[in-house]
Chains A and B, each alone.
Chain A
Amino acid sequence: DIQMTQSPSSLSASVGDRVTITCRASQGIRNDLGWYQQKPGKAPKRLIYAASSLQSGVPSRFSGSGSGTEFTLTISSLQPEDFATYYCLQHNRSPYTFGQGTKLEIK
């Protein structure tokens, strides 16, 4: 199985900060990776697909990069509504696997 190691597991930041979250795959997954945002009591919402493509309707402060085994999600300038939990998901090979999640909290 492909393991997805996501870091950090939690992060405190302020409005306006630049934030980066990383996922490392235990083997190459091309660009078959998505990034998701989840708020309490809500279904996850996809932000990025194919590692670097911005989902329609998602603000441009979100960006994704990487290919192969190392991937990053960057939020260029944190807004109050961005405080949530973020997950990566690899869908290159079954079983698909999620990262452990990153809880982004207000400093």
Chain B
Amino acid sequence: QVQLVQSGAEVKKPGASVKVSCKASGYTFTSYDINWVRQATGQGLEWMGWMNPNSGNTAYAQKFQGRVTITRNTSISTSYMELSSLRSEDTAVYYCARVSGAYGPWGQGTLVTVSS
């Protein structure tokens, strides 16, 4: 079935970087955009950015410009989201998701905790 499976929880210190992976299966990885979304505890959903896995083109929310990088490895159908210069406010669950097309799977979420 069409699914996205993410890497496990991370604990990072302020100022560090984190890289979360999202492995796609059940469909042609390069045919659909991958989005990254985050959610702090008790808060709403926040769109971070998007990547076209075929071209590698990306777009990021202004809030994260300069700190977020979305990449992919098409040979293993995997997208990556790297967030740098972490601060406590970046503690959240991070999701990858397809938002267009007849299937709209989300990954299970990856908790990133930023704490000294």
By the criterion CB–CB under 8 Å, are B104 and A46 in contact?
yes
Given A43-B95, A96-B47, A98-B47, A56:B106 Cβ within 8 A: no
Residues of A within 8 A of B107 (CB): 43
Q: A-contacting residues of B (Cβ < 8 Å)? A: 35, 44-47, 50, 59-62, 95, 97, 99-104, 106-109
Nearest A residue to B43 via CB reads A101
Report the Cα distance A87→B97, complex, angstroms: 14
By the criterion CB–CB under 8 Å, are A101 and B59 in contact?
no
Chain A interface size band reads 20 to 34
Report the Cα distance A53→B62, complex, angstroms: 31
Residues of A within 8 A of B104 (CB): 34, 46, 49, 55
Residues of B within 8 A of A55 (CB): 104
**B8 CB to closest chain A CB, in angstroms?**
15
By the criterion CB–CB under 8 Å, are B95 and A94 in contact?
no
Report the Cα distance A45→B109, complex, angstroms: 12
Residue among B44, B62, B106, B109 making CB contact with A101, cutoff 8 Å: B44
By the criterion CB–CB under 8 Å, are A101 and B45 in contact?
yes
Residues of A within 8 A of B45 (CB): 36, 38, 44, 87, 89, 98, 101
Interface-central residue, B44, B46, B109, by most chain A CB under 10 Å: B44
